[in-house]
Structure 1
């Protein structure tokens, strides 16, 4: 049962990181998007566009790693979690998501909300998967 709950949190974390990718790499120049990340003007958004584009792809790659890990984890017969590689990949990518949230937090307390949004789902999934 814990493995199923861990999978839900890991999948939600992956979907959230896909959403970050879309905002940062696809929709960055939309004012409501770049303002969400603290970029006030279109000029600043244009200046930071390459950084956001790159960061978005990092988030996408983490999401892909988590999804592949979950697929491997549940690829065993009768839906049993038998693949250690899937568990390792899922834990690694969730750990990277949590670490990225902690790094974000080190840039200032004004990023606490963003760090919590980015880090809570993968942290819960990681802890649960450790005990699954």
Structure 2
């Protein structure tokens, strides 16, 4: 079960790396325009804000990866790793709830649900 939980955490991290790429590098490109349903004009006007958002998504991914690697880096680090992964998954979930409430409902399913599932698997393992 621990392996499944860590795979779920890794998938949430990969998702946030992809969001970073979309927001920082593809925001004004066809993939970014389609993903966020933006017009080229709106994307151009909000590119700096999107890049900032992307950076924050990268920090979330980095925290999750750090939690996954922590036991390999520090002897007896499994209890701390559980807390690190839990903290960052909770941050992802809260960000998703806020995004769903303020930007687009689909964010709840794209961001919050995977984080909540990974968090549940983590605590059940």
Alignment TM-score, normalising by the size of structure 2 = 0.89
Is the contact between residue 62 and residue 93 of structure 1 (CA under 8 Å) also seen in structure 2?
Answer: yes
Match of 1:44 in 2: 42
Tell me the matched-pair count: 125
C-alpha displacement at 1:83, in angstroms? 2.3
Asked if residue 89 in structure 1 is aligned to residue 84 in structure 2, the reply is yes
Asked if residue 63 in structure 1 is aligned to residue 56 in structure 2, the reply is no
C-alpha displacement at 1:90, in angstroms? 0.6
Q: Where in structure 2 are there 5+ consecutive unaligned residues?
A: none
Q: In the aligned structure 2, how far is the partner of 1:104 from the partner of 1:7?
A: 25
Asked if residue 24 in structure 1 is aligned to residue 23 in structure 2, the reply is yes
Mark the CA change 1:73 to 1:131 in structure 2 (over 3 Å): closer, same or farther: farther
Match of 2:98 in 1: 103
Is the contact between residue 73 and residue 87 of structure 1 (CA under 8 Å) also seen in structure 2?
Answer: no
Q: How large is the RMSD of aligned CA atoms in angstroms?
A: 1.9
Q: Where in structure 1 are there 5+ consecutive unaligned residues?
A: none
Alignment TM-score, normalising by the size of structure 1 = 0.85
Match of 1:118 in 2: 111
Q: In the aligned structure 2, how far is the partner of 1:39 from the partner of 1:73?
A: 41
Asked if residue 6 in structure 1 is aligned to residue 21 in structure 2, the reply is no
Cα deviation 1:70-123 (Å, max 9, x = unaligned): 11145577xxx8522211111111111111111112126xx2223201122211
